[in-house]
Amino acid sequence: MDTVLSYIESNKERYLRELTDLLAIPSVSTNKENVQDMQRCAQWVADQMRSIGLQNVQIFPTAGHPIVYSEWLGAAGKPTVLLYGHYDVQPVEPLELWTSPPFQATVRGDNLYARGAADDKGQVFLHLKSIEAFLRNGGVLPVNIKMLIEGEEEIGSEHLEKFVADKKDLLKADLVLISDSSMFARGVPSICYGLRGLAYMQIDLVGPNRDLHSGSFGGTVHNPIQALTEIIAQLHDKHGRVTIPGFYREVLPLTKKERAAYKRLPWSDKKYAKDLGVKQLYGEKGFTTLERVWARPTLECNGIWGGFTGEGAKTVLPSRASAKVSMRLVPNQRSTKVGKLFESYIKRIAPKTVSVTVRTIHGGEPAITPIDSPGVQAAVAALEKGFGKNPLYQREGGSIPIVVQFKQLLGLDTVLLGFGLPDENSHAPDEFLDLNNFYCGIKTSAHFFNELPHFMAARRKP
């Protein structure tokens, strides 16, 4: 390990130059005019893989942008890590808000500024460099590696699911490693082990068969807008809990260890409320803010419409009213089941004065990799060594659909080892990667590969 680490230390400048080359390719997956650049970027990644000693390097065409694959399977009897990332980036507009050109990586202070620096080229590249450090110093890795780098993450990974389903044998592994997320804060390495899912619904209410004059008809029929808001007002109780019967039945309770871990994170409700411009925070009673956003399910009305919303006045008693409602789900809730509970509850509480339709717009499942699992424990040990600091545990309130696909299609848990920062401007002008996270990230990656076999072996022992 010492040779590997000193190799990393003495090659920092070259790493930065190479990453700058990768960041210079405008691989904006959503732009038609960048189709050739997408090909060029896939080729760059494949060439890089070959040059550091990865084998079976292949560029798989898809109906969209290509997927790059490679492997190193020389560690017989050792675990196999499936490393996923993406080489495509978000568009750069508005250009005038960039301090330096988005495809000319520029160092300012402790940061490297460029589109894709953090999301996700920089984070893919740091793993390539740790793999290189092993293969150039002794020629072996402590684990087997399979790398899967796609070009359509920023446009919904449209062709990835089919690829993974078709290539189950090729992608066989023990766990998935993804570096495409952020740490809790600068200087606070953290490991994300849980994601929320989603059930997105629409409610449509119809009252009278046409819009009515509120003077001639007001007082005779139930206004659908009023009926709809009456329904929505019943979806939470006075403790901020969702009232749908059975909604919390499958919810995995927070463990003592988790609650203690969240308390250690640097956090201030006051600061958070001030930043959001609200006088007071709101949410389910009995849980802290971080617990509510990471480990508790929620229900939000995302939009509501009906009647007259133009300028001036129109005394209409509308025929229809609608709302979009989304529910964030936590392990072990299932989106279809929660969707059904929602639908039957809405139908039950809807007044007889209107007719109601409920439909599902889309859904996604929550995911969790237990904190005592060998993958998470290896990541914790790696962060500790790579950053010289005890990492903290966190979850994420949002979703990463690919994590659920890997679980469903390959049966694999994912370790999310993020080296970005919450304020890194991914998807915005002046995206940057903290250079300390970049260099410590390379070392952390090396430590992760080195530690994983020990934690996996310890798990196997009775």
Just list the catalytic residues. 88, 153
The stretch near Zn ion (CB under 5 A) out of 93-101, 116-124, 288-296, 354-362 is: 116-124
- Contact between 431 and Zn ion by CB under 5 A: the answer reads no
Q: How far is the CB of 81 from Zn ion (least distance, A)?
A: 19
Q: How far is the CB of 116 from Zn ion (least distance, A)?
A: 9
- Contact between 120 and Zn ion by CB under 5 A: the answer reads yes
Q: How far is the CB of 124 from Zn ion (least distance, A)?
A: 9
Nearer to Zn ion, 157 or 333 (CB): 157
Among residue numbers 180 through 209, which ones bind Zn ion (CB under 5 A)?
180
Q: How far is the CB of 450 from Zn ion (least distance, A)?
A: 26
Q: How far is the CB of 427 from Zn ion (least distance, A)?
A: 9
Nearer to Zn ion, 231 or 402 (CB): 402
Q: How far is the CB of 90 from Zn ion (least distance, A)?
A: 9
Backbone angles phi, psi at 169, to 5 degrees: -70, -45
Placement of tokens 């969707």 in the chain: 339
Both tokens assigned to 262: 């969240």
- CB burial string 365-401: b at 16+ within 10 A, e below: bbbbbbbebbbbbbbbbbbbbbbeeebbbbbbbebbb
- Contact between 119 and Zn ion by CB under 5 A: the answer reads yes
Nearer to Zn ion, 381 or 403 (CB): 403
Nearer to Zn ion, 119 or 430 (CB): 119
Strand-strand pairing, 80-86 and 144-150:
parallel
Nearer to Zn ion, 120 or 343 (CB): 120
Contact (Cβ atoms closer than 8 angstroms) between residue 242 and residue 297:
yes
Total residues contacting Zn ion by CB under 5 A comes to 3
- Contact between 88 and Zn ion by CB under 5 A: the answer reads no
Q: Which of 366, 388, 441 is nearest to 179 (CA)?
A: 441
Both tokens assigned to 134: 């092993």
35-52 and 12-23 helices, crossing angle to 10°:
160
- Contact between 424 and Zn ion by CB under 5 A: the answer reads no
- CB burial string 220-239: b at 16+ within 10 A, e below: eebbbbbbbbebbeebbeee
Both tokens assigned to 437: 């996270």
Torsion sign over Cα 179, 180, 183, 187: positive
Contact (Cβ atoms closer than 8 angstroms) between residue 281 and residue 269:
yes
One-letter identity of residue 230: E
The stretch near Zn ion (CB under 5 A) out of 17-25, 119-127, 377-385, 448-456 is: 119-127
The stretch near Zn ion (CB under 5 A) out of 165-173, 177-185, 298-306, 404-412 is: 177-185
SS3 category, 200? strand
The stretch near Zn ion (CB under 5 A) out of 161-169, 178-186, 217-225, 402-410 is: 178-186
Both tokens assigned to 34: 């960048």
The stretch near Zn ion (CB under 5 A) out of 69-77, 174-182, 381-389, 397-405 is: 174-182
Nearer to Zn ion, 65 or 296 (CB): 65
Site residues for Zn ion per CB under 5 A: 119-120, 180
